[in-house]
Chains A and B, each alone.
Chain A
Amino acid sequence: MIHQGDDTVTIELDQREDGELIGIILEAAHRRDFETMTRTATEVSEMTRNWATHIPWDDLASLEGDDDELAQVVADLTEMWEPAHLRNPVDPDEEYALDKNAYDFYRPAGCNLLTRTEDFYGWVQARRRTETWQYSRVLEAAPDSVAQITNDLGRRARGINFNSQDYLSFNTHPAIREAAARAMRDYGPHSAGSPMVLGNTRISDDLEAALGDLVGLDHVTLFPTGWAAGFGAVVGLVRQSDHILIDRLAHSCLQQGARAATRNVVRYEHLNVEAVRRHLTEIRATDTRNGILVVTDGLFSVDADWPDLVTLQRVCREHDATLLVDVAHDLGSMGPGGTGVLGMQDLLGSVDIVMGAFSKTFCSNGGFVASNSPALKQYIKMFGGSHFFSNALSPVQTAVVREATRIIRSAEGDVLRARLFTAIHALRDELTGRGLTCMGEPSPIVPLLIGNEKLARTANRLLFDRGVLAFMVEFPVTPTGSSRFRLQVQAGHRPEEAREAARIIEGAIADSRAYLSSAFGSAPR
C-alpha cells in the first residue's frame, strides 16, 4: 500500500511480473484463446500499460475475427518480449571492429609483455577483415597530386592524393632533387654520427643559419625528426618540479615530452589564452621558484586553427613562463614569405622558443629548435637526448631542407603558396557548398569533420575504391566522437582535382550514412 494525498492506491504484492503475463498472452494468442488474453491483460501493471501504449490492453477481445490486427499485436508483444538482437543479427566482426577504440587496449592484462598484445591484435585483425583499418598503406611510386598505393591487405588503389605531407610539392621539384643528388655525390648517404660528434656537415651549418633567418631567431639546433625536436626540447628544459601548461590538442611529441619531464602538467582548453593566464596566476601564487613551460602548436595539425600567440607570449612574460611554439605545419607553407603563423602575427624573432619539422613543407625528415639564446641551444643539445644520442640528419636530407628553405624564401615560394591556397579554397568551398563541415581556417590542412567513428570508418572503406586518398583520423589522434578526414593539400593540386575529390568524398559519406542508417550530423554539440 502506498499513500499519496487523498488517493489510496492499492498494489498487490503478489501480482505476477509483466514478462510472465505477456508470455501467457502470447501463448493464448497462438491458441486464439481470447478469454485468457483479456483476463491476463487486466493484471498487467500500470507501468507497462502506460509505456506500451500501442498495445490495446483493454480491447484484446476485439481482436477476435480481425486476423491482421491480431498478428500486429502478437508482433508488437513479441518485440517487447524477446531480445532485439535475435531479430536483428549483426556481423560480429564488423560490430567489434566498429565499436571499439584504440584506448580500449591501452592497459592490457598479463605478466607476459609478448602475449598480452594479442587482444589488441585481434581487434586490428577484425578491422582489417572489414577493411576499416586505415593505417599502414604503402606507395607504389613517387606521389604527387595523384598517388598509387597498396593497403595492408595488399589491395591497390589510385587516387587524388591528400595523404602526402608535401605542401609545396617539392618531392617532384627538379632543384630539390638536384640538391639531393649533389649532396649524395659530395658526402655520400651516411651521416657519420651524432651531431655532437661528427654527424653534421657544412650544409648543416648553412641550414641552421637559413632557418634562423626564416624565423628571426639566431640560434638553431637540428634534430633527426620533428618528433625528436619537440620531445627533446621539452625534456631537455623541464625538470620534475617545474610546470608545463600544454594545449590539450598539441602534438603527441610535445604531450609525451611533457609526461616524461614532470608530473605537473596542466592540459588547458584548446587555444584558450585566458585559461593559460588563470593557470599561470594560480601556479605563481604558490610557486615562484620553478620554471613554467607553456606549449602550443602554431597551425594545429588536425584542427587547422592557431592561437593568439601575441597575447600568449605576453601572458607568459608576465608570469615568468617560457613559451614554446611548434610550427611544423605552417612554417614555409603559409604566411608572408613562408614565415607561417609567426610571420602572420608579426612575431618573427620574438617568441621564446620555436620548433618545427621538415616533414611537411621541407620535403625531408628532420626538425629544429630555435631561440635567441646561445646558452639554451647548448643546453638542449646536451640534455635533449634525441639530439646528443641519435645520429644526425643525413647530408642528403640536410641539403634537401637547405634548398627547400631557399625556394620558400624566393619569389617562386610565393607562387607555390599562391597555387597551394587556390587549391585549398577550391577544396574548402566545394566541401562546404555540399553541406559538409571544414574545420579551422584555410591552411594546407583541411580537416573535414565526420564525428562518429563508425561513420568515419565506413566512409573511409568506401573512399578507398573511389579515387581519393584521404587519411581518416580518429582516437588517439582526435578525441573520441570527433573523427575526421584530414586532407593535406599540395601546390600541385589543380582546383578541378580538389573539387572532384570533394564530390567523391561527399558521396562516400552519404553512402556510409545510408549503410549505417544513421541520422547523426556533425554539428559539434
Chain B
Amino acid sequence: MYDAIVIGARCSGASTALLLARRGHRVLVVDRSSFPSDVISTHFLWPHGMSYLNRWGLLDEVLAVTPAHTTVEVVNDGISLTGSVPTELLHEYFRDLHGDDSGVVQSYASVRRRVLDEILVGAAAKAGAEVRTNFTVRELIVENGQVVGIRGRAVGGELVEERARIVVGADGRNSFVARALALPKYDERPRCTFAYWSYWSGFDLGPAQLHRRGRLACAVVPTNFNQNMVLVWGPSEWSREFRGDVPGNYQKALDFVSPELGEVVRTKGTREERIYGTLDQSAFLRPLHGPGWVLVGDAESAKDQCTAIGMTHAFRDAELVSVALDRWLRGDASIDEAMTAYGDRRRSQNAAAYHDYVCTLAEMRPYRHDELQLFVALRGNQQEIDRFIATHADVAPVSEFFQASNLFLLNDAAKESSADHPVFENFAETSRSYQQNLFA
C-alpha cells in the first residue's frame, strides 16, 4: 500500500512524486516510456519554470548542459520589443500562488525533454520514490466508487496490482485516467495552432527570438547539443495545405515571417532530425479531482503551445498538489479541504483569464491595428515591455496589464508613433492579404 501512485513520470508526474517523496510519503511513480526519451513539446521554460527547478535543487544539473538567457526578443509585424520577466513580478507570483518566493531566477531555457525528464525522474528516485518505467497502467481499481489502485504491467511482464490512498493522473493530454473514468471536458476552445519544428546546428543567434507576421509565427531558441529549436506555427485551418509539403512549407513560413531568419536557416543551418509537428492542441479543462484521484499537468488542463507554458504549468501543479496532498496525508486537513485548496488555485479568475488569453492568441488572427499600436506604444517603455512579457508568460495576471487606466497611460506615454513602422502603410490591404492561406 502506497500513500500515492503517480501515473506518468514527466514534468507533472516526476515532479509530484519527487515533492511527495521528499515530504516522507511512500510514492510509486510509473510511466509507459523509458528514459531518456522525448515527448511532443518545444520545451521552452519561462523563468518561473526555471525557478521551480531551482526551488527543487535541480536547476544546476539542467544548466550544466543547457544554454540559458534572460532577455527575449518579440517581433510582431516588424515591431520589435526586447525585454525580460522582472524579478519582482516573479517574487510576487511565487508569494501569491505558493506563499513562499524562494529560489527565484530570471533566466529561461529550452531543455530537450530527453534531458529534462530524465533529470526529474532521477531526482524522484533519489528522493525515495519508487520509479517503474516501461510500465503501462491498464486499469484503475475502483471499489465503492473510489479509486484505490492500479493494474498494469511492464513490457512482457505479468499484470500486477498496486494500491494507494490516492492516484495522481499525470498522464498528459490523452490521459489514461481521464479515459478510464470517462471524464468530461470543459472550457473547450477548438481553434488552435499547427506547430512544426526541428533541430538545427550551424548558427548561434544568442537569446530567443519570437516573430509573428499575419497569421504565422516562428521562434528560434538555442537548446541542448549546440542546436537550435526552430519552430513555425499558424492557424490549424491552414494545416491541411501546410501538410502538402512539410519541409518546403516550413522554410516558406520562416521566409515569410522573418526573411532574415529564413536566410540564416537556409544558408547556415544543418537540420539534425526529422521535422516534428502536431495540430492537436485545442484547449480544454477536465475535472480536477474525485474520490481517490486527482489530475495534474496536461491531464487537467491542456492548451495550445503558442505561449510555451505547459511544462511550467505542470511544475506549478506539482507544487500545489503535493502541498495539498501532504496536508491530507499527515492528517492536517481532510481530503475535501486539501482538494478545494488545490482547486481554488487552479480554477481561479486569473487562471480563467489566462486560458482565454492563450486560446484567443492561438486563433492566430492577424494582429489588429489596435494591438499593433499597443506594441508601438510599448517601445521605449522598458518597465511595461517587461510587464507585458511577464503577462504573456502567466507570471503577472492578465487583469493587471489589460486594465483601462493602464492601457490609457501606456498610450499617453508612447514615444513612437505608427509613422515609424511600415506595417501601418496600407494597413487595410496588408491585413486583407494576411487572410490568404500562404500554403494554398
Contact = CB atoms under 8 A, between A and B. Distances in A.
A and B interact: yes
Interface residues of B, number: 87
A27 interface: no
A47 B37 CA distance: 8
A524 interface: yes
A19 B197 CA distance: 13
Interface residues of A, number: 80
Interface in A27-60: 45-54
A285 interface: no
Best-surrounded residue of B286, B343, B349, B355 (most CB of chain A within 10 A)? B349
A502 to B, nearest CB: 21
Contact of B40 (A48, A110, A477): A48
Given A18-B278, A110-B428, A520-B347, A475 B402 contact: yes
Contacts of B399: 479-482
A186 interface: no
B412 A517 contact: no
Given A109-B427, A521-B347, A481 B369 contact: no
Contact of A259 (B243, B409, B427): B409
Nearest to A12: B274
A103 B404 contact: yes
B365 to A, nearest CB: 10
B347 A519 contact: yes
Contacts of A239: none
Best-surrounded residue of B239, B282, B405 (most CB of chain A within 10 A)? B405
A52 B404 contact: no
A375 interface: no
Interface in B221-239: 225, 236-237, 239
Interface stretch (B78-86, B141-149, B159-167, B187-195): B187-195
A50 B39 contact: yes
A83 B282 CA distance: 8
Contact of B405 (A79, A87, A267): A267
30 contacts: A4-B114, A7-B36, A17-B276, A45-B38, A46-B38, A50-B38, A50-B39, A84-B192, A85-B282, A88-B282, A99-B356, A103-B370, A103-B404, A119-B368, A255-B408, A267-B409, A451-B352, A475-B402, A479-B404, A480-B402, A481-B349, A481-B397, A482-B353, A517-B185, A517-B187, A518-B352, A519-B187, A520-B349, A523-B344, A523-B347
B187 A516 contact: yes
Contacts of A11: 272-274
A101 B97 CA distance: 27
Contacts of B404: 103, 252, 255, 475-477, 479
Interface string A200-216: 00000000000000000
A9 B174 CA distance: 26
B50 interface: no
Contacts of B356: 99, 452-454, 481
Contacts of B273: 2, 11, 13
Given A47-B41, A108-B369, A453-B356, 19 more contacts: A4-B115, A13-B273, A45-B274, A46-B39, A80-B278, A83-B237, A84-B280, A85-B190, A85-B191, A119-B368, A249-B405, A256-B408, A259-B412, A265-B409, A452-B349, A482-B353, A518-B186, A520-B285, A521-B348
Contact of A80 (B280, B403, B406): B280
Interface in B334-368: 343-345, 347-353, 355-356, 360, 368
Interface in B189-209: 190-192, 194, 196
A110 B370 CA distance: 11
B315 interface: no
Contacts of A119: 368
A2 B369 contact: no
B172 interface: yes
A64 to B, nearest CB: 20
Best-surrounded residue of A81, A84, A87, A252 (most CB of chain B within 10 A)? A84
Interface in B282-324: 282, 285-288
A106 B278 CA distance: 35
Best-surrounded residue of B40, B246, B279 (most CB of chain A within 10 A)? B40
A481 B352 contact: yes
Which 9 pairs show the lowest CB-CB distances between chains A and B? A481-B353, A109-B369, A476-B404, A479-B399, A84-B282, A451-B349, A519-B186, A84-B190, A107-B373
Contacts of B407: 103, 106
Contacts of A51: 39-40, 172-174, 278
A525 interface: yes
A99 B360 contact: yes
B179 A263 contact: no
Contact of B370 (A4, A88, A108, A265): A108
A90 B187 contact: no
Contacts of A263: 412-413
Nearest to B341: A523
A16 interface: yes
Interface string A259-270: 100010101000
Contacts of B192: 83-84
A473 to B, nearest CB: 12
B271 interface: yes
B37 A46 contact: yes
A357 to B, nearest CB: 19
B428 A525 contact: no
B437 interface: no
Contacts of A517: 184-188
Given A47-B39, A84-B236, A17 B351 contact: no
A135 to B, nearest CB: 16
A103 B402 contact: yes
B436 to A, nearest CB: 18
Contact of B277 (A17, A104, A110): A17
A107 B286 CA distance: 37
A105 interface: yes
B96 interface: yes
A480 B350 contact: no
A99 B283 CA distance: 15
Contacts of A518: 186-187, 352
A2 B225 contact: yes
B4 to A, nearest CB: 20
Given A80-B280, A85-B190, A520 B352 contact: yes
Nearest to A98: B356
A4 B36 contact: yes
A20 B244 CA distance: 9
Best-surrounded residue of A54, A87, A246, A522 (most CB of chain B within 10 A)? A54
